[in-house]
Each structure stands twice: as C-alpha cells, then as structure tokens.
C-alpha cells in the first residue's frame, strides 16, 4: 500500500501577495485621508453658535440682510464695516441657502425709524411685519462687527443672528472672534486658502495673503461662520 505524498501548504503566488499588500496600503491611506479631512473640518468649525434646528425651514426663500453695524463707535470698527459689508453679502450668496436682498438704509429708516439695527436693540412692535411688507422677506439677518484689526496679526469678530420674520424665532446665531495671533486660526486660514485656490490654478497657491489682507481674512472668517447655518 503506497502512501500519499505530503500535502504542501498553499502559498499565494508572489503577484497575488503583492496585490494584497497594495490593496492594504491603499485602504490605510484612504482611512488616514478620511481622518485628516474630518479633523480639518472639525478645526474650522466655530464652537459659539446656536441652531434652532439642523434643517432650514423649507419655505424660507428670501433673507433680508440688514446693514452691518459695529459693536461700538471705535474708528477701527467703523472702518471694518466699510471694508467687509460687501464681503458679507458675497459670502452669504455663496452658501446658496436662500436669496439674499440688501436693506437700503433710507428705506429701512422710513419703515422702522432707523437706518441700522443690531440683534440686541429693542425693536419696534411692527418691525418684522414692516420689513415683510417692504421686502417680501421670510427672514432677517442682523449683522454686527465686534472686532476688527487691519494690521497683522489680523482679527475679525462677528455677531450674526438669523430671525424668521414670520414667527420671530431665532433660527441661527453665531458670536465668534477670529484672532490670527492664535496658531490654530493661522492653520485654519491657510487651509481654507489652499482649498479655495487650488481649483482656480494648477500652481501651488500662496497662503500668505489670507493672513495679511483684511478682506481675504474676512472672507475666511465668514465662510467658517456661515458653514454652521442650518442645511437644506
């Protein structure tokens, strides 16, 4: 009676082992990349904001942007309002969350008695109904600049409040100061600049400008704050 030859252990061909190794490396890189994206997104999310709901009301289509006001009458804040008011409107439009219409100071005065308002002001009884009639708006955005430093290290502070003009309920609010003297803010600003410019040019973008241009830094701060708005 002849015995069977010993069975050799199955060994995958070299090419198969290499392919498996490559797949493992690719999976590891993908996992690490996903973790980096999550950490990056978390780093750019301000902590001081309020949401009534994570979803924007489906019937909210038009938002009235009130004139940008300053927390005080300090000269640097007045200059900041002049410099960043158009930036605010542009960044709001980029969210594509709603139609943005700008309140003209003259019409605002005729309707409410003043050319500018902040969320902390005592509002007239018919404030929202008057604005709804004049502008056909569904919500009103109060905008206040709380900090502004136009020389390095730059600083910008925003106090924003979105109020449903029909129910007079606050839908979203944020009160945040971005100080470029902080290393974490510098890193977030550079990351935002790189992500924003890489689609426009194949050349390596420079992130120096975002930390030296008040307008560019203002864009970064607004994009970061407005990213916390309720989603559609």
Q: Based on the domain organization, do 134 and 84 belong to the same domain?
A: yes
pLDDT given at position 18? 46
In-domain check, residue 7: no
DSSP string, 129-162: HHHHHHH--SEEEEEEEEEEE-SSSPEEEEEEEE
Q: Based on the domain organization, do 31 and 85 belong to the same domain?
A: no
Name the residue range of residue 25's domain. Answer: 15-44
Within the chain, where are the H helices? 14-43, 75-95, 105-112, 127-135, 183-197, 214-226
Q: Based on the domain organization, do 126 and 202 belong to the same domain?
A: yes
pLDDT given at position 207? 86
In-domain check, residue 114: yes
pLDDT given at position 47? 75
For the record, the structure tokens of 72 come out as 């005080």
Q: Based on the domain organization, do 110 and 35 belong to the same domain?
A: no
Of 26, 44, 62, the residue that ends a domain is 44
Of 6, 28, 44, the residue that ends a domain is 44
Instruction: Give the CATH number of the domain where residue 139 resides.
Output: 3.40.50.10610
- Residue 59 burial class via C-beta count within 10 angstroms: exposed 0-12, middle 13-18, buried 19 and up: exposed
- Residue 37 burial class via C-beta count within 10 angstroms: exposed 0-12, middle 13-18, buried 19 and up: exposed
In-domain check, residue 2: no
In-domain check, residue 75: yes
Q: Based on the domain organization, do 88 and 73 belong to the same domain?
A: yes
Q: Based on the domain organization, do 52 and 144 belong to the same domain?
A: yes
Residue 26 C-alpha from the chain's centroid:
32
pLDDT given at position 198? 54
Of 6, 25, 44, the residue that ends a domain is 44
Q: Based on the domain organization, do 33 and 139 belong to the same domain?
A: no
In-domain check, residue 4: no
Q: Structurally, how many domains does the chain consist of?
A: 2
In-domain check, residue 3: no
Q: Based on the domain organization, do 222 and 108 belong to the same domain?
A: yes
Structural contact between residues 164 and 127, judged by C-beta atoms closer than 8 angstroms: no
- Residue 119 burial class via C-beta count within 10 angstroms: exposed 0-12, middle 13-18, buried 19 and up: buried
Q: Based on the domain organization, do 152 and 191 belong to the same domain?
A: yes
Supply the pTM of this predicted model: 0.78
In-domain check, residue 5: no
Please list the ranges in the chain whose pLDDT falls under 70.
Answer: 1-46, 197-205
Q: Based on the domain organization, do 61 and 27 belong to the same domain?
A: no
In-domain check, residue 69: yes
Q: Based on the domain organization, do 59 and 34 belong to the same domain?
A: no
Q: Based on the domain organization, do 161 and 219 belong to the same domain?
A: yes
């Amino acid at each position: 009676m002849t015995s069977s030859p010993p069975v050799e252990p199955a060994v995958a061909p070299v090419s198969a082992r290499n392919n498996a190794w490559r797949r493992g490396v690719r999976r590891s890189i993908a996992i690490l990349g996903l973790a980096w994206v999550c950490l990056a997104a978390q780093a750019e999310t301000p902590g001081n904001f309020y949401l009534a709901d994570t979803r924007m009301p489906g019937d909210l289509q038009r938002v009235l942007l009130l004139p940008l006001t300053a927390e005080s009458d300090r000269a640097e804040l007045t200059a900041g309002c002049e410099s960043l008011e158009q930036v605010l409107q542009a960044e709001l439009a980029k969210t594509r969350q709603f139609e943005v219409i700008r309140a003209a100071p003259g019409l605002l005065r005729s309707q409410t008695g003043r050319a500018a308002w902040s969320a902390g002001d005592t509002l007239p009884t018919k404030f929202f109904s008057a604005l709804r009639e004049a502008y056909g708006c569904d919500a009103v955005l109060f905008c206040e600049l709380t900090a502004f430093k136009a020389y390095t290290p730059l600083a910008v502070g925003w106090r924003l409040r979105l109020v449903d003009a029909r129910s007079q309920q606050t839908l979203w609010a944020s009160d945040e100061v971005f100080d470029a003297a902080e290393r974490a803010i510098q890193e977030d600003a550079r990351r935002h600049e790189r992500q924003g410019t890489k689609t426009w040019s194949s050349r390596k973008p420079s992130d120096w400008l975002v930390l030296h241009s008040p307008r560019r830094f203002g864009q970064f701060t607004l994009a970061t704050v407005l990213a916390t708005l309720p989603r559609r």
